[in-house]
Structure 1
Amino acid sequence: MSASPVRFGLVGYGFGGRYFHAPLLASAAECELVGVVTTSSSRREELARDLPGTPAFDSLTALVAEGVEAVAISTPAATHLALAQEAIGLGLAVVVDKPFVLDPAAARETVELAERTGVVLSVYQNRRWDSDLLTVRKLIADGELGTVTRFESRFERFAPQPGPPAAGGGTLLDFGSHLVDQAMTLFGPVDRVYAEMRLRDDLGGRDDDFFVALHHTGGVRSHLWGSWAQGAPGPRFRVTGSTGSYLVDGVDGQEEALIAGRSPATEADRWGVEPEHRWGRIHRGETTTVVPTERGRWDTYYPAFAAAVRNTAPVPVNPRDAVASLEVLAAAHTSATQAETIPLP
């Protein structure tokens, strides 16, 4: 017999909860979205329009009373620690949006709490399943680029209003959580970090633009950029190898699709498929070869987490990976403020 769907609650119905979590939870046959914790009247109105019949709750304990087994936390970054630890204390399996928490010590403490209590915990690093990153992984695995020496990755935007929003904790922490996780997923641990960033007094001291250089223990160098103030965004990825370089310009289209109201439930096998004009290419000097982009698979995260709750598979993202990423991001912040390269153990 197949396992019953995992009864899920969602905590928070801001941008992330509304677009990155609720549609994917609602689309997963392995999950049942029981309700959403939000006390905002405007968020409750949006929930009623988006997912008619899905109730809103005031607290985690109210969700527990409804029999939920797991929660996804998508609230401002500064609230993640308390909510995650409360959920763990209630015995709920937990998904925490990125950035996991604000510092590596608190992240480690939370992971150890989950391990001691036997609670399933994961971090929502959905961009491991971006179409372009999956393409890079395939090209590397197939040897299409030879030996990779440098990985360049960018999340660059030009915000009509000064960014970043306070909820993400600053651009380095917000965008950097994805960029560093992707780099370490591809190339492993980091032994030294150099960074630059621009702090904005009018944004409460948050940074709106950064550059981070990572040296991986395996020898690959990752150069990462994040910005809310870039009028001419650079390529999403440029991956340089001994026999060629892969270049792709645009950002994976799954976020755009979710914001437009599409989901895996509405798109079925079309979900995550990139049109040909957005495919990347391999350059070997004057020779250029177009490379079909792999299908993006954000839709696989929650089914995989549900399997972990049912004890039939590991979590899709090990929370200790998030601890390691936060250690790198903390070193990057120190590097930027002290203008020096920071070694990591």
Structure 2
Amino acid sequence: MKVYINGKFLNQRITGVQRVAKQYTDLLLKTEHNIEIIENKYQGLMAVFFEQIILPWKTKDGILINFCNTGPLIKTNQILFIHDAAFMASKSHSKLFRYYYRVLITLLLHRAKKVITVSDFSKDEIVKYFNFNVSKLAVIKNGMDFEDHIEQDIPDVRNKLSNFKKIVLTVSSMDPRKNLKYIAESWIASNPSEDSVLVIVGGKNKVFADDSVSIEHDNILFTGYVTDEELIAYYRSAHFYVSASEYEGFGLPIAESINFGCIPLLSDIPVHRELFGTYGYFFENDSKQLREVFANLPEYTMKKSAITESETWKSSVNTLIQVLRETNEI
């Protein structure tokens, strides 16, 4: 049977969810299976109309894979990826967004043939927040390798970092639950040396109720949104990666940073322990503890230097193909 991919991510700015969709799609297209991407070229309400009305008609002769949390309500022969339950657990999103997602996801969870999430923690959260048949829910963890290994030098990134010998990186949308302001304030309080810099990569998103982080310091670099090429250059240049997030479904930038040799410094939350327990150093989310971590960076060394075969995107895709076989769709 034909396998369709909801290609809405092709017309969206690439963040974590879209990157997951891209990694899966690129590898699925290299398999022998009959795969077709249905691109959604619209924005706003027209994009919603296309997904809800046009997409199910275009995919009526096959199964549809939705990698980006939403899909058409009138189609039952579909696989739905739900990456986390942040829209239920956190109040960082706007009230309108939370209400819309709560209604939409509740309906989709019950209509989809199979629901996939990216960690055991997210599975438990989905079960907790929704009256849901857990037998329809599977966990496929994201890969930790970065398929787009771009070798070219990026002069702009190199020039921005040329005066620094110790680089701490964080990659995130300006979501309040990511605690970027707390990271920046802790960094300043640690009295960083002149050759040290905290690099904050990420752009604003209108779905968040408050996404303002406005701190200026000689040893902090706010890049805004960057291209994949620039992001890889920052990963390659960094020595440490920090995440002080209060809530995650996975934490893809952490995985990517580990792949490029960064030492992860992570808030002590369940999903970080589950996925990166053998790689990371953990701290409680209070200003004093993170400040002390930053002040003692030379004490932290790489715990584990190589990802395993089961932590690759190839493994994730193989597991997804097995799910398709179990649903008799390929």
TM score, norm. by length of structure 1: 0.37
Greater strand share, structure number: 1
Higher relative contact order (CA 8 A, sep 6+): 1
